Structure 1
Amino acid sequence: MAVSIRTVVSHVPKPMWKTYCEHHNISFAEPIDWEQEDKAVASALEDAINALPQAEYEPIHAHLERINVVASERGIKALINASDTPDEMTAKLEAMENSHHRAMAIFIENETLFKTAEELLFVDFKVEGRSWQHYSIKMEDALETITEEDANEFAFEVAKIIRHNFDNRDECCGEVYKRYSDGTRQISVYVNDLPNSNIQVEKKKLQRVSTKKAIVAAVVYDPQTKQLCTVVDGGKENHDQVRQAFAKAILKQEATEFTASEPVRFAIDKFKSRPVAPLLQTKPEHNIEVVRVRKLDLSTNTPFKHILTVDAMANGKDSDMYALRTFFDESGALYSKYNLFHVVLSFHFHPKAGGKRGHVIHLSLKKNGSDLKHLKEDDRQMIEGYLKQWGILEDVVTEQAETPEAAAEKEYA
């Protein structure tokens, strides 16, 4: 992930930067005068870092990349979740100036906790998409602890799922993390992938280097609800096999019964009919011209299983799919026969001063997922705020029995 040296330098207070430089024994050709005003220190520090020789610059750049990733709303939540005293950690972080300040402070003070937060953040990021599945486990007693031996055995079982004919236990491992603020347990699995031949220049000669990138999968287990969330690439079959591997290696149970638990996070049924105020209304300070429903995907099983996609004009801010009253009016002949499982909203912004056309943000929503995580942080926070304001984003995730709509979404996802 690219990181701007200027951004991190300007957001982290100079006393914290001084501590960082002392902690990592960083020295510059022109020593920094830490007594100068903040802007002068930030400018001098940016120039000094960029002027370092490559061998000294690269470790700093790597640190700042990691700090920049955690310096977000999700990252700060992960830091709190990684702490065995989450309330104290929350109070400590709230006293700091901004997310970059918080991330660098923990990076310096407690790198082990910072690394744990990075692991939790990886899963939290994946869970916002569709590479995860959530299930309840049928078992008599809650599992309170997970041993390192069992975690490594689980990793070996997962490795056999994602790597063909895998048989080397030394090339996989399982790391156990306790997520303190929500009481769950996480097992991150690392498995070496097939050798990859890359090229690099060494001593003015081109060399081929054989490397193995680690594949990452994970599960999060909740002892209170006996629910399991799986994160793995490869589709439904892989998720099923990872759950059974968890049952075998961790629970010591064979052929365990898992029940699908569909967490409904987005109330997209509000878009089954024409949206009415205050839905889709925005604040003037965000410079949004209009928010419109760009696309709807519907499904039905009658008279046969199929989906229907209604797509408005790409650039037609005034195009109106809800004029199709047969589908989108409650009295329409086909309204009750179709279930809505996917919505795309378009946020059209006014042009900036001197510009001819404003930019557009497209947001994809399903009942249990979205692509919010792919937006810029400021845009994500703004749109997330609107979704809550409109009653689209549910703050509390509840377990529900699988509905026909949920089944249809999985069928056509």
Structure 2
Amino acid sequence: QVEASLPLHNDQVSMDTFKSKIKELFGLGEKVKIELFDRVQPDEDGNDINVVQVMIYQEGLPDSYLEFKGEEDIVSRIRRPVSEHAITYSSDTGTIEVVAAKQERRDTIAKAFTEDLLKQPVTADKVPLRRFDLMPLMENKPLDWDVEDGIESVQLVLMKIKDLAGDGRVQIEVPAKSNTALHEYAQEHFGEQNPLSTGGFAPVQAKINIRFHPENGHGRGKVLPVKISMPNGCDLRSRTDKERLIGEKYLKRWGLLEEIQE
């Protein structure tokens, strides 16, 4: 994660510098090819944002294999397989994602990309790799909590779901002050065609309100809204440390978040 709105420098000098550094990093072959592609992917709110994908193809170390020559002879052949690395960068969010076969290469590639193509010193924050899964919210199961966290109630207030056939999307939402739960509302209005239970839809976004008891027993309790978007969007990043810890604790408990240890 780096500062947002940093421009990508893809001029020839910058690209050559980046390519030369990649050649030196892993002790692989001298041949390196770099390609840039413009892509679109959803952000935390489900809106399309522009990203740049950088594909790196690097000649690997030689290895040998056996093959038949004719009907009886077996010969040894030498080949140099190509290693692939991929980077996606969004200037809107400042997020850099690196995919590489070996874990130790990921940080190295991210640092080289930041220094040579973003022209920034390497002061980026490493973001834990997370996997979100909203499928548990398709079932009408209670979202529990611990009394000691000062929580008064938890309410699922929004679900955006997509038709698995690719025909469209449906949004189901209830007011935060509603006494009717979202699943009850959907069942009441859709009946047997309830998209949450027909099996023909998959979730793409959800919003959960976590309401706390009023401080000192007076006034209104604070509400922590948590919005999750598939595949990896969540607005907890912008919250206070306390709110982020609470939110992440319960997203894990409810089966909506898995942190992948590297």
Q: Normalized against structure 2, the TM-score is what?
A: 0.51
The share of aligned pairs that are identical, in percent, is 18
- The alignment partner of 1:394 has SS state of strand
Q: In the alignment, does 2:137 pair up with 1:287? A: no
- Asked if the contact 2:210/2:225 (under 8 Å) is kept, the reply is yes
- Residue 389 of structure 1 and its aligned partner are, at CA, apart by 2.1
Offset from partner CA, 1:215-262 (integer Å, 9 cap, x none): xx99799x9x95524122269xxx9xxxxxx9xxx9xxxxxxxxxxxx
Q: 1:10-409 alignment to 2 at 5 Å?
A: 122-123=1-2, 158-160=8-10, 169=13, 226-233=84-91, 265-276=131-142, 280-300=143-163, 305-316=167-178, 318-323=179-184, 324-325=186-187, 332=193, 334=195, 335-369=198-232, 370-396=234-260
- The alignment partner of 1:265 has SS state of strand
Q: Number of matched residues?
A: 169
Distance 1:333 1:364, change over 3 A: closer
2:64 corresponding residue in structure 1 = none
- Asked if the contact 1:264/1:367 (under 8 Å) is kept, the reply is no
Distance 1:339 1:264, change over 3 A: farther
Q: Write 1 or 2 for the structure with the bigger share of strand.
A: 2
Offset from partner CA, 1:354-397 (integer Å, 9 cap, x none): 52211101111123221121111111112211222222211338
Question: Equivalents in 2 of 1:345, 1:231: separation in Å?
Answer: 29
Offset from partner CA, 1:163-189 (integer Å, 9 cap, x none): xxx68x58x986x79xxxxxxxxxxxx
Distance 1:219 1:371, change over 3 A: farther
Question: Equivalents in 1 of 2:92, 2:220: separation in Å?
Answer: 40
- Asked if the contact 1:282/1:288 (under 8 Å) is kept, the reply is yes
* AA partner of residue 386 (structure 1): Y
- The alignment partner of 1:159 has SS state of coil
Q: Write 1 or 2 for the structure with the bigger share of helix.
A: 1
- Asked if the contact 2:53/2:86 (under 8 Å) is kept, the reply is no
Question: Equivalents in 1 of 2:256, 2:221: separation in Å?
Answer: 25
Q: Normalized against structure 1, the TM-score is what?
A: 0.34
- Asked if the contact 2:176/2:209 (under 8 Å) is kept, the reply is no
* AA partner of residue 322 (structure 1): H
- The alignment partner of 1:387 has SS state of helix
- The alignment partner of 2:144 has SS state of coil
Q: Which runs of 5+ in 1 are unaligned?
A: 1-121, 132-155, 161-165, 178-216, 240-245, 251-262, 399-413
Q: Which runs of 5+ in 2 are unaligned?
A: 23-51, 59-82, 98-108, 114-128
Distance 1:353 1:394, change over 3 A: same
1:201 corresponding residue in structure 2 = none
- Asked if the contact 1:264/1:368 (under 8 Å) is kept, the reply is no
- Greater RCO structure (CA 8 Å; 6+ sep): 2
- Residue 272 of structure 1 and its aligned partner are, at CA, apart by 0.9
Question: Equivalents in 1 of 2:55, 2:251: separation in Å?
Answer: 27
- Asked if the contact 1:300/1:339 (under 8 Å) is kept, the reply is yes
- Residue 327 of structure 1 and its aligned partner are, at CA, apart by 8.7
